[in-house]
């Protein structure tokens, strides 16, 4: 997995990450849950990003705090935009409304990564599901969350550092490695051809 910040964030059984999913009976509740998942949380010391002497003692730098807040907000906005599109398409009779169980599960699983990686593109899927995908810094990472806790992952790396994978990844074990690589590359200063 490596020594990057994502690996430090990964502990325990993935099913216990975050709070227990809250069943949302409406879009309003779903949006509220999404905002809660990606609200600011206590920041752990980041000794890999030292720009002040105090970091080694566990003090988080102002720039790290600011970056975390920005990334959580970006994640929240990405989920909200995806949910709004889902509602729009549902009202146009093109798909089911978002399944709050599926969306809550996805938000809960990914909230851990919100401070560490760029925000994903969130797009609704048929039968209430959603996809979260990153196309950045040489990596294509796609996660499709569907009913019955199914997660299908697509992982491709132009640099060939992360093994290619197309298949079910319910525990996100394959995805963690890819997101770890994305996090490490995002900390570098190289420009990306992320999208438009």
Partner 1 sequence: MPRVAVAPSGVSQPQEWITDPLERLIRRFRLNKAKFIVVDQITGKRRPPAAAFEPRLPENRPNATRHDKYLSVNVVSSLTNAGLPADWGLDRTQFVAAQLNVDACHSVGFHVTWEPVLGQSNPAHDNPHHGGIQGAVELYRSDMDSFEVAISKLAKASEVIP
Greatest extent of the chain over all pairs of C-alpha atoms, in Å: 57
Work out how close the CB of 127 gets to partner 1 at its nearest, in angstroms, rounded to a whole number. 6
H or E segment and range at residue 168: strand 165-168
* Residue 95 · residue 108 · CB < 8 Å: no
State whether the Cα torsion 72-78-81-83 is positive or negative.
negative
**Which C-beta is closer to partner 1: that of 163 or that of 167?**
167
Strands 151-157, 130-136: pairing kind? unpaired
Work out how close the CB of 8 gets to partner 1 at its nearest, in angstroms, rounded to a whole number. 25
Q: Which stretches of the chain bind partner 1, using CB under 8 A?
A: 77-78, 81-82, 84-85, 88-89, 92-96, 121-128, 131, 133, 135-140, 142, 144, 146, 150, 152, 154, 156-158, 166-168, 193-196
Nearest Cα residue to 106 out of 90, 87, 122: 122
Work out how close the CB of 89 gets to partner 1 at its nearest, in angstroms, rounded to a whole number. 7
**Which C-beta is closer to partner 1: that of 56 or that of 158?**
158
**Which C-beta is closer to partner 1: that of 128 or that of 180?**
128
Work out how close the CB of 192 gets to partner 1 at its nearest, in angstroms, rounded to a whole number. 9
What tokens does 163 get? 């093994």
């Amino acid at each position: 997995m490596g020594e990057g910040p994502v690996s430090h964030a990964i502990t325990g059984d993935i099913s216990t990450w975050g709070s227990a999913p809250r069943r949302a009976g409406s879009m309003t509740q779903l949006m509220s849950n999404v905002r809660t998942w990606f609200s600011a949380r206590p920041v752990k010391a980041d000794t890999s990003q030292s720009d002040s002497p105090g970091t080694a003692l566990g003090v988080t730098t102002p720039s790290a705090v600011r970056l975390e807040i920005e990334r959580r907000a970006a994640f929240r906005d990405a989920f909200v935009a995806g949910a709004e599109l889902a509602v729009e398409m549902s009202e146009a009779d093109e798909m089911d409304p978002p399944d709050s169980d599926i969306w809550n599960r996805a938000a809960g699983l990914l909230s851990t990564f919100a401070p560490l990686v760029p925000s994903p593109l969130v797009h609704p899927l048929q039968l209430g599901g959603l996809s979260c995908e990153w196309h950045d810094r040489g990596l294509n990472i796609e996660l499709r969350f569907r009913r019955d806790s199914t997660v299908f992952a697509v992982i491709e790396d132009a640099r060939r550092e992360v093994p290619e994978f197309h298949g079910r990844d319910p525990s996100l074990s394959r995805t963690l490695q890819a997101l770890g690589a994305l996090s490490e590359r995002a900390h570098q200063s190289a420009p990306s051809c992320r999208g438009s």
